[in-house]
Amino acid sequence: MFDKRIRKTVREGKMLKKGDRVAVGLSGGKDSIVMLHSLHEIQKDLPYELVAVTIDEGIKGYRNRTLEIAKNECKKLGVEHVVYSYEKEAGKTMDEIVEENPEDIPCSHCGVLRRYLLNKSAREVGADKLAVGHNLDDMAQTVFMNIMRNEPSRLARLNEPMLKNDRFVERIRPLQWTPEREVAIYALLKEIELERMDCPYARWAFRGYVREMLNKTEEKYPGTKFKIVNSFFSMEDALRGKFSLNAKLEVCTSCGEPCSTAGLCQYCKTIKLIRRN
């Protein structure tokens, strides 16, 4: 049942094709591990290559544990595994960034660094696709957060960047129609080792609030999360049409990556900020 849903998502979304090299964003949390197992299963019917990429943010007592799980699962399945760290790439661990910038929201820096490094690592391992483990709950939360923050232009590019560029590896979301609850059941059935601890900085996230709100709504009105994501996909073309007119792709003056504003990209701005001390 569970595998069927993922297979259908991959097939109907034309996410994978024979011969693709697929980078799996593997945090070591339940979603990404379950996605790795599932893509490993589908690989038996559709020949493609898998390589797992983990971004080590440098969060003691949390990421080192999930990193260990990620390593073990890759070994078990015989999947190549590469690790990129904030410490090596950005010069600071997330723990240092939080300590040195106590006023800032950790996730805002972390999100920028992770998105950039995931794309960079996928490109550097020669991947055609980057599979991310966003499940139905994550998708519904992101749609809602963009609406609550009045950021319709971000919502327009939720599924894919507004403009294509060779340096952006195409993202796929094989779990986008799978509720978080089902991912947990699958992990249990497959006896997948799980780390139940959440990131210690997650309590500051706006996402946590939206997550709770949607869980309560789903309890009372089952199917809400699915309807939110479905509504997004129904509106996607219209939204992209509205915002594509103003979309421009500049090149970052520091790292040369494509970005939406002239000057420094978000990653280089963050690097500048966190290295100022």
Give contact residues for Zn ion (rule: CB under 5 A).
Answer: 252, 254-255, 265, 268
* Structure token pair of residue 167: 């340096």
- Dihedral over alpha carbons 74, 77, 79, 83 (to 10 degrees): 0
Asked whether position 199 contacts ligand SF4 by CB under 6 A, the answer is yes
* Residue 84 near residue 120 (C-beta atoms within 8 A): yes
What is the distance between the alpha carbons of residues 72 and 78, in angstroms, rounded to a whole number?
A: 10
Beta-bridge mates of residue 84? 55
268 binds, among ligand SF4, Zn ion, none (CB under 5 to 8 A by kind): Zn ion
Q: Among residues 108 and 231, whose Cβ is nearest to ligand SF4?
A: 108
- CA-nearest of 65, 61, 121 to 95 is 61
The single-letter code of the amino acid at 51 is V
Say which entry of ligand SF4, Zn ion, none residue 140 contacts (CB below 5 to 8 A, set by partner kind): none
Asked whether 39 and 131 are in contact (CB, 8 A), the reply is yes
**Which one, 15 or 118, has the nearer CB to ligand SF4?**
118
Question: Which ranges constitute the DSSP H helices of 103-173?
Answer: 106-124, 136-148, 152-156
Instruction: Tell the smallest beta-carbon distance from residue 137 to ligand SF4 (Å).
Output: 15
What is the contact mask toward ligand SF4 in residues 145 to 184, using x (rule: CB under 6 A)?
A: ----------------------------------------
Does the protein bind ligand SF4 through residue 110 (CB under 6 A)? yes
26 binds ligand SF4 (CB under 6 A): no
Closest CA to 120 of 167, 166, 165: 167
User: Which member of 106, 125, 132, 145 binds ligand SF4 (CB under 6 A)?
Assistant: 106
**Contact with ligand SF4 (CB under 6 A) among 15, 16, 107, 175:** 107
The item of Zn ion, ligand SF4, none sharing an interface with residue 255, based on CB under 5 to 8 Å by kind, is: Zn ion
Phi, psi of 57 (to 5 degrees): -75, -20
Residues binding ligand SF4 (CB under 6 A)? 57, 94, 106-107, 110-111, 199, 201-202, 205
